[in-house]
Amino acid sequence: MAARGGLENPLLGGGAVSSPDSRRRRPCTALAIAAAALLALAACVVLHLSSGGDDRSRVVSGGGGGVRLSPHEVEAGVGAVATDDGRCSEDMYAGNPTSKYKGALAMGIPGELAGLHAAWSRYGRLPWKDLFAPAIKLARDGFTVVPYLEIALKKTERDVLADPGLRAVLAPEGRILAAGEVCRNPALADTLEAIASGGVEAFYGGAVGERFVADVRRAGGIAKVDDLRAYKVEVSDAMRSDAMGYTFLGMPPPSSGGVGVALILNILSGYKSLEFLKGFLGLHRFIEAFKHMLAIRMDLGDPDYVNITGNVSEMLSPAFADKLRQRIVDNTTFPPSYYFPKWSQLDDHGTSHLCVVDGDRNAVAMTTTENHLFGAHLLSPSTGIVDGQLAGVVGGSGGPFIIATVVQLVPNEVVYENVTVVDGEVFELSGEAREFLRRRGHRLTSTDSGAVCQFIVQDLLTPVAAAGDENVFHGMLTAVSDPRKDGRPAGM
């Protein structure tokens, strides 16, 4: 996310941060929300491809979902999902299907800023204005383009060069920026300064919002300033599930992450022992559980428009999971029809995730997404916007790969033996594992894309009493960030 350079506030210190971008300095103490806001705002600057609030943002914790503040046992999910502007219709993309994910008609009403403000209003301590300083500095002074961003730019070069706003920031000399070069976004710096001083109202109906809407409409969009004024953040109870001896908290639908993780873990928990999840056969069982979950989750929808109560209950039910586990055969896989899929799978990308645990063991996991790399491929030229004991905080980015990757981290931590890579970095299955899976009918394809995870674990085997409260015990925090997106953990 933007850990380096995003956490330089002198009031922060004494916690751990895991984020998919190495720009970090210091984490926070008893200020998890503040740290999350600092990182998220900085990510809007350095991760144009997968952050910025064009689509949706969810602040979550525990096993991948909500804000969890342990001292007061607060468990909540803050959902800031992009909404349509009330003038959308079912056939508005019929003449040009591409316009539903590219261009001004693909843009919803941005919700990330409102979501951050809602979380800060309920749980934050630092002044609102102070949260913006690191992001403003990154936008105005610039940041170094990392290899991951260069790869994403090459994949979307034609669209970046076609949009005046993106071109001015990401290809200022007529070519896309390369790794090692500096990227600046002065218009975004001005926007952040205005919102820092004037509050979220500057965007949701104020001068910044008016300029943003004007840019969108010039590009062919239909948004209005009144749509910004009408935007509402939803705060709901976190989704709870129990598996493998742990309680997991996640976002409720329309996010499928919480229920998806719960279903897979319940399927795997049905084996007589967690030892049954080890080795190549354990990998086969996991893949089969994931296939069942993928087919079932496509029945989910937005609960504001679709009744999915029964679907959610099934996905959280250990009895339902056990029925699916009985359909897993150890010596073979099956064609897609075996898993009863009703709908085609979605292939979306453009996500960022961060995890924060502070000195009081308050925990935040936040996912922000634009659905596709660089969202709708449109940048607004005038604004620059594109249980009592915490066991761990985990989340990831990577579209359809997120749930599978997050679920794998749980048995990796609580089931498998510790493995250290001494020489080099291993990001692929061994030849023996691939041959084992092929013999069971799995079709394997090499890919250069996947999910990037962030993980913070608290070691409760040797806890020490918290300062000032002998009844509260804290364990050592270990923060891990997947390096494939130039991620680095931070901690003090």
**Is-contact 121 80, C-beta < 8 A?**
no
Distance CA 94, CA 81 (A): 24
Reference 59, options 29, 42, 35, 83; nearest CA is 35
Catalytic residue of the set 156, 351, 383, 405: 351
Is residue 156 part of an annotated ligand binding site? Answer: no
Please name the residues in contact with 35: beta carbons below 8 A apart, sequence gap of 6 or more: 7, 12, 15, 17, 27, 28, 356, 358, 364
Q: 254 to each of 29, 110, 325, 386, 441, how far by Cα in Å?
A: 32, 17, 25, 22, 33
**Is-contact 395 60, C-beta < 8 A?**
yes
Whether residue 127 has a cis bond before it, omega within 30° of 0: no
Distance CA 16, CA 133 (A): 20
Strands, E assignment, 203-361? 234-237, 239-243, 246-250, 351-357
The phi, psi pair for 284, rounded to 5°, reads -60, -45
Buried b (16+ CB within 10 A) or exposed e, 426-440: eeeeeeeeeebbeeb
Is residue 420 part of an annotated ligand binding site? Answer: no
Distance CA 312, CA 263 (A): 10
Catalytic residue list contains 351:
yes
Residues 108, 56, 128, 5: what is their CA dihedral angle, to the nearest 10 degrees? Answer: -120
Residue ranges for the known binding site are: 369-371
Residue ranges for the known binding site for L-glutamate are: 369-371
Tell me the catalytic residues. Answer: 351
